[in-house]
Structure 1
Amino acid sequence: MKKLLSSIMLAGGLLTVVPALEVFAQSGGNSGITIFSGVEQENLLDYRLDFGGESGRWDRYRLRIPSKKLPFGASQFYVTYPDYYKGRFDTDRIEVRIDGEPQPLSDVTWNQEEGLISMDLEEPIEPDTKVELVFSNVKNPRPGGTFYFNAQVDVPNDVAIRRYVGTWIIDID
């Protein structure tokens, strides 16, 4: 009898936990655990899709860069994406945020042919600063898929060569 009761409790617990884990996994909370992506673990960046990352729907991308990835600060941010990503960006609704506060931008450019978005800051960001790139009014691509977005920066008072910061592996359902 004890074995039967234990089995029923275990099965009930699993039925409760598995759907909750599925909801969390699909919430667009972050990049999660990635195996065999071709990107070194230390180069994976965290992100959030505020409206669930559904194919063909509007969304907001929160692309996060930890402070340890910006040891020299940044004067310009670049985000590259693959040619098979067919989403749309609203350059008037792109922000660079520090502690939730938008930083003044002198220019935001979207080069669709090259798959490149560049954000020029009015004032460079200090070294070791945590940054969030916020892309609002994004039209997710149809069909969805897995897309590798790469972060690069220009460092203040340095040669104008883009430095690789990391990669967001973004899943659109």
Structure 2
Amino acid sequence: MRRLLSTLAVTGCLLTGFQAVSWAQGLPGLTLFSGIKSENQLPYRLDFGGQSDGWDRYIFRIPANKMKLAVAQFAITYPDYYKGTFDPKEVQVKVKGKAVRLSEVKWDKEGRVIEIFPEEPVPAGSRVEVELSNVKNPTFGGVYYFNCQVLSPGDVPLLRYLGSWVVSIN
């Protein structure tokens, strides 16, 4: 009986430890002193752990309550000290879990912006995921602010700020 209880205790500790590791690069969690109000922080996930100088997939989420108007263009900007690379051919936008057809994806390295143009405007009130696959993380870790801006169809051609993903690379 004693051996069974110690085996269960060790197994429970191991499973809890693995679960904590898998949550490490989930949602933004508690961010102190980021300079961004909590209502402007957007959730994200790094599928392969966010290791510096490694390959990864970034899942940037936009909650439905942030999508107050339809969206004809997404623009994701990032800081000049982020030295990772993106593959514009490996970008997807999902609305309520279903992939949306894209007419174009542009990565402006000098301007530090990824522009994503869906074929049809994304409806207002939709839960959106922007998936960036085949990303090469920067050689040095750090905290990077990815800002999301959108353009509505027929809108004055000024991008509107939705929020920021505060991404941590180890």
In the alignment, structure 1 residue 159 sits paired with structure 2 residue 156:
yes
Aligned CA-pair RMSD = 1.9
- Which residue does the alignment assign to 2:63? 66
TM-score, with length taken from structure 2: 0.88
Residue 25 of structure 1: how far off its partner (Å): 5.2
1:1-173 alignment to 2 at 5 Å?
Answer: 16=13, 19=17, 23-24=21-22, 26=24, 28-173=25-170
Q: Which has the larger radius of gyration?
A: 1
Structure 2 distance, partners of 1:32, 1:20, is: 18
Aligned residues: 160
Q: Find runs of 4+ consecutive structure 1 residues off by over 6 angstroms.
A: none
Residue 23 of structure 1: how far off its partner (Å): 2.1
- Return the letter of the residue paired with 2:99: P
Structure 1 distance, partners of 2:64, 2:97, is: 14
Residue 21 of structure 1: how far off its partner (Å): 7.5
Structure 1 distance, partners of 2:134, 2:124, is: 29
Superposed CA deviations along residues 138-173 of structure 1, whole A, max 9, x for unmatched, are 001111110000000001121111000000000000
Structure 1 distance, partners of 2:22, 2:48, is: 13
Listed as ranges, the gaps of 5+ residues in structure 1 are 1-11
Q: What secondary structure does 1:125 align onto?
A: coil
